[in-house]
Structure 1
Amino acid sequence: MTDQDSDFIDLKEILSIIRRQARLIVLTVIVALAIAFFHLTQATSQYTATTLLMVDPQGKNVLDLETGTTSSQADNARLESEVEILKSDSLALTTIQTQELYLTDEYGPSFGITDKLRAALGMDVNELPTGEDLLQSTLGKFNDSLSVRRRGLTYLIAVSATSESPQRAADIANAHAQNYIAQQVTSKVDSSLSARDVIQNQLAQARATLANTDGALEDYIDQNLSRLESEIGSDRISQLRGDLTAMNQQLDMARASQTAARQALANQNYDELAQQVGDAALARLNQQREALQRRLAGTEAGTAEAIDLASGLAQIEDQLQSQAQAAVSDLDMSIRSYQDEGTTIRGAIRDEVLASNLSPETLAEIYSLQQEAQIAQRQYDTLLSRMRDIETQALVQIADSRIVSEALPPRNASFPNKKLELALALVAGLGIGVAIAFANEYFFGGVVSASQLANIIPLRVAAVIPKVQQGTNELSVADRLVDEPMSMIAESFRRLRATIDLQVPDKPGEGKVIMVTSSIPAEGKSTDALSLARTYAIAGKRTLLIDGDLRKPSQHKLIGAEPQHGLLEYLIDGNSSEHSTGEFYDADPKTPLGIMMGKRRSNVPTDAPLQSAAFEELIKNARKALDVIIIDTAPLVPVVDARYIAPMADAVVVCVRYGVTNQSDLRTCYEQLTDSVRQGTAMVSVLNCHEGQEKSYRYTGYYS
C-alpha cells in the first residue's frame, strides 16, 4: 500500500463500515438514551443560588483615605487570590458550623447503596462515620456543592451554592459570603496585632539600647576623668571630682549599712539593726522587749499577770517590727538621695567637660557617643509611634469586600436539564457508537474486506478467496481447482500465484521457497497451501508441498493419504536413520504435485527439528531439484515454529479468515514475521472467505 493510498480517505469505505456496524451503533444510541432517561427519572432536583461580592483590590484603611494606583496585573492576582480563599477548607468549615450542615440529611452522614441493600436483606449495616471521618465527609459534600468564580475581568466574584432545597441554597451562599467578609476583617486585625507584637519585641531592644547609650557618656567621663581633668586644667572639675569621690564613699557606706540592716532585720537582730541605722528609739524598744521576755519567763503560765505580760510583749514586738522597717526605708531613701546627688555631680562634670576646650581625639570619642545616643533615641521614638498607630489601626479595620447582591431562593432547578441531557445522550451515543464501530472494524472485530485487511497490516492483499461450501465428495475446497478450473476460487489462487511470481521472479537452477502461514489456527492456511501448490503444478512447475506444521499436520488428510511415518520422525532421527523420505512423501492424486506429509501430532517440542541440519539440507536439496517449494507452517502467534522457517522463505503468504481472525493477533503475527524474515522477502496476504472444516481456533489445540 503506497503513501498516497494511506493518506486517501475513502468515504465509500467509511459509509460501508457504518452500514455494516449499523446495529451496533443503533444499540449504543439506545443504551445511551436509556441511561439518560433512567438518570432523569432517578435524579434528585438541585437548586443553585448565587451571591455577588465586590472586591476592592487596593485594600481599605480608615486612617488613610488616600487611594493609590495599582496595575491591572496586580488587581488580577489579588482577585484570583480572593477566589482561592473563598474555596478554602477553613472557610468551608466555618460555614458548615454556622449553618449546622452536618445535622442535615443532605450534607450529614448517610447510608450508601450497599448499606441500604444490607438493611433490606436484614444484614448488619456499617456504623455511621464519626469524628474526623464525619468532618471530611461533610466537607467533601460541601465543596462539591459550592462554586466560586470571578465574573469576567470585573471585580465581582460569584459565590454559588447548590442544594436540594432552594432556601438552603440561598442561605449557604449568603452565609459563606458573610463568613468570608468576617474572616477578612479578623485576618486584618490579627495581622495588625502580629505586627504590633513584632514591634514590641524590637521596642524592648531599642529601650535597652537607649539606656546603654544614655549612660555611655557618663561612663566614658568616669573612666577618663583624670585624663580629662589634666587635659582641661579646670579647678571646677577638680572640685566636682572631689565632691563625687566623697559622695561615692558615703554611698558605699550607706549601701554597706543597708546590707547589714536588711540582714539584721531578716534575723530579727534589733540591736544590730539599731546600731546600723543609729536609731536610739529602736534600741530602747528592743530593751523593753527583752525585759518583758525575762519577766514573762519568771511568771507562772496561765495567770493574769502572764497574760498581761504576753499581750504587752506582742504590742512591743509589733512596734519594734514597724520601727525597724521604717528605719530600713529611711536608709533606702538616703541611698537614693546619694544616687541623685551623684547624678547631679556627674551632670555638672559632663557639662563642664563639654563646655571646655578638648583635644580632637576626645571630641571625636564624645561625638560618637552622643550620635549613638541620638540614633537610639530616634529609633525608639519611631518604633513607639508605629506601635501606637498599629494598635489604633487594629481597632478600626474594615473588610475589603462587600456583598452587592444577596442570593434569593431559586424558582427553577438547575439540575437536571432534561432537554440538554437527552440531546447530549443522543450525540454521545452516536459518537460512542461510531467509535465502537470503527474500533470493532479495525481493532477488535474480524476482517471483512480487503481494504480493512490492508489497513491492519501493511501487506498487499494478493487475493480474496470467495466463499465456497465444501462438496460431499470433496476432501477439501482445494479439489475445486482441478474439478472446476474455471471457477472463481481457481482464478483467485491463480491471481495469488501471479502476484508471487511478479514479486519473486524465477531464477534458473534455483527453486523459490514460499511459506504459507497464519496468525492463529483454523484460518484455512493448509487448504490455501495445497491450492497454491496445485496451481503451480498445473502450470507445469516442478512443485513440492511440505507439511511443516509439525504440531498439527493436516495435508495427508486433504489428499486422503496415510503415510507410515511423518516429516517429524525424519527430522528427529536424521536422514541416515531407518526412516526414508519415501515413507512420508507421496504424489498428489489430482496433480503432478509432490507432498511431504506429517503423520501425527508431536508430543515433543518441534522448534529444534526445524533448526536442524537435516531440515536445512532438505530445503537446500529441494531448491536444486525443484522450481517451487511451498511450506505449510504452524500459526505464528501460539507457537514459534514458523519463526525458524521464515528466514528460509523467498515469499510469505499470510492467510486471514473472514470475520474470525482477531486483529490484535494479526498485528502480532505481522510483527513476528518482520522480525524473522530476511530483508527483501516478499510478503502478501490472502483473505479467506470459504468455509473451513474446523471453526475452533483455540490455541490449546497446538499444545496438546
Structure 2
Amino acid sequence: MAAGTPPIILQYWQLVRRWRWVILAIVASALVVGLIATLMMTPRYTASVRVEISREQKNITNVQGVESEQVGRDLEFYSTQYALLEARSLAERVARALNLKSDGAFFEAHGVDPQRGSLFGEQARSGVEELKRREALSVELLLDHIEISPVRGSSLVDVRYTSNSPAMSARIANAWSKEFVAASVDRRFASTADARELLERRLTDLRGRLEQSERDLVRYAGDKRIVSLSTTVTPEGKSRTDRTLISENLEALNAALARATAERVAAESLSRSGSTSAQAISSPTLAALRERRAGLAADYARLMVQFEPGYPQAKAVSDQIAALDRSIAREESRISGGIGNDIEAARSREQALRTRVDQLTSQLAQQNTDSIQLNIYQREVDTNRQLYEALLQRYKEIGVAGVGASNIAIIDPAKLPEKPSAPNLKVNLALALLAGLVLAGLTVVALNQIDEGFRDPNQIPAQLKVPLLGTIPLTDKDTLDELRDTKSPIFEAYLAIRSSLAFSTDHGFPRTLAVTSTRPAEGKSTSCFALATVLGRTGKRVVLIDADMRSPSVHTMVGLSNEKGLSNYLAGDDDWAHLVSESEFKNMMVLPAGPTPPSAGELLTSDRLHALLDQLMQEFDHVLIDSPPILGLADAPLLTRAVEGCVLVVESNGVAVRGVQTALRRLNDVHAHVVGAIFTKLDTRQTGYGYGYGYGYGYGQGRADRDD
C-alpha cells in the first residue's frame, strides 16, 4: 500500500545521497582545477586613487560662473561624473599624456604583444597607421582595466587600475585622476570661451545700435531746438528730461509778468484813490523839508512867546517857514504827476512780458509735441545702453569666472602596490567550490532525468495506471529466512500485498495468478514464491508453477530437483501428479520448470497449459505461476492469457519508465488482466518512510533479493 509523497527537502536529500559520489567527484575536480588555475595565473596588482567630487565649484572670487549654482544638485550629477571617469575621451587623454603607444612596458604589463595583427610578410602598415593602431589598442586596454568604485554615502570615488606591473598600475591610476581634473577644467574653460565669443558678437552689435540711437537722439533734438537743461535717471535706468531752455525761460518771464501786473494794479489803485500820502511819506525829500519846517516852526513859536510877529527875527523865521511850505507843495505836486507815468510804464512792461510769455507758451506746446518722438529716441538709447552695460558686465564676469578652483580634489594618490590583488586563492577556491556545486547540481539533475527508473512508489499508479499492491524493502538478509519468520518485515510486506490482492476480484484472491516483470532479476520469482508461502500459512492449498523454463529458479528456493516438471507435461506427459513435489513450506506444492525445451514459446501456445490449470484448480485453492520476463520473450504474454490475473513486479531504480510501460502495453495487447504492481528492492534510507508496511524498522542497504 502507498502513502503520501515525502517532503521536497527529503526528496532532495535522497537525491544527494544517491549521487553523493558523483557530487563529491565533481566538486573535488572543480577545486583542483581552481587551485591549478590560481597557481598558473600571472599576479596582478591594483593601484587605487581616492578622489573627491564636490557638488559645487569652489570659487576664489564672488563672481558667478556661466552655469547656475543649482547645476549638479540633482541625483544625476554623480552618475554623470562616474560616467565621465570611464569615458573613452579620458582614456585617450591618459594614453596621449603618458605616450603609451610607444611604451613597450605598458603592453608587457598587460600581457599583450603590440605587434600582434601586423602584416608581416605582406604589405606592411605605414608608420602612421601602426601608431594609430597601437594608440587604439592602448585605449582599449586602459578601458578594460580601469575600475570606478564610488564610496557609498559620500562624494568620494576610488579609481582603481589593475595590471601585471605594480609600478605601471600606480602610474596610470595617478595619471587617470590628474587627467580627469584637467578634463574638468578644460570643459569649464571651453564653456566660458564659447560664452565670451557669443558675448563679444552681441556687444559689437549692441555698441553699434547704441551709438546710432544716440546720434538719432541728438540730431532730432537739434532739429527741433530742444535744449535740455537737466535730466533725471529713474531706478529702472530710464532717462527723463526735467527742464528745457524754453520751459526755463517761460518760467522766468511768467514770474516777471506776475510782478509787472502787480505793480500796475497797485499804481492804478493809488491813482484812483487820489492819495499821495504814501508816496509823500516814503519820499526822503519831503521828509527832509518837513523836518526843517518843524524845526523852524518850533523856533517861531518860541519867539512869539517873547516878541511880536513883526519882530525881525520872528519875521525872518516866518519867511523861511513860508518858503519851506512852498517847496513841500511843489514836491507833493511833482510826486502826484509821477504816479501817472508809473502806471503807463507798468502797463507797457506788462504787455511786453505777456506777449513774450504767449510766444514761449506756443513754443513749449510745440516742444511737448516734439518731445513724444524725442522720448521714443531716448527710450531706445536707454534700452540699448542697459543691454550693452549688462552684457559688458557679464563679459567681465566670465573673464574672471575661470579663476575658481576645481570642484575635484585628489585625496589619496596611488601608491606602489605591495602585494598582488589577484589571483586570490581563497576567492578562487570559493568560486571553484560554487561552480563545482552548480555543475554537480546540474549533473545530478541531468542524471536523474536520464535515469528514468521508478524511485517513488507513487509513480506506479501515476505513470502505469495500475494499482500499487505494495512495496518490498531492500534487505541484506536471506529472503527465505525472512519468509520463514512471520514477524519479519518481508513477510509482513507480502502479507499486506496478499490483502490487497484479496480485493482484486469479486471472489477474493485470484484463483490463478501469474507474476512477471519487465526484465530478469527484478524480484518476480521471489515475489511469486513469497505470495505462495503467505497463502499457505493462511490455510490455503497452493501450487507454485515455475513457468520460466529458460531460466528456472523456484526449485533452488525449495531445494528440489529440476529433472522433471512443467516442460514434461507440456511436451506430452499427462500425469501431472508425479511432476508436483512437496515443499517444506506449509500447504505449498511446487511444479518445477523441468528440462529446458528447445522452444518454450511453442510449448506455451498449446492447449495443454489450459488443461493443466483446469486440473490443478480442482485440487488446489490457488495456482501461482512464476512467469518469464516480458521484454524480448513471447512466454509471458502467452501465460497471462491463461490465468485469471497478472501481477507486474517493478524494481526500484531499475528498468526505465518507458521500458515498463512497453511491457505493460504488451500485456494489454493480449488482454491480460493486470491486477496491480509490486514495487521491490526499495532502499528505505534513500526513499524515506511511509511506503508500505514496516518502513520504520531501519533496514540497511544490502544485497539484492535472491532472484534469477
In which range does the TM-score fall when normalised by the shorter chain? 0.3 to 0.5
- Bigger relative CO (Cα 8 Å, ≥ 6 apart): 2
Larger radius of gyration: 2
Q: TM-score, normalised by structure 1?
A: 0.47
Q: TM-score, normalised by structure 2?
A: 0.47
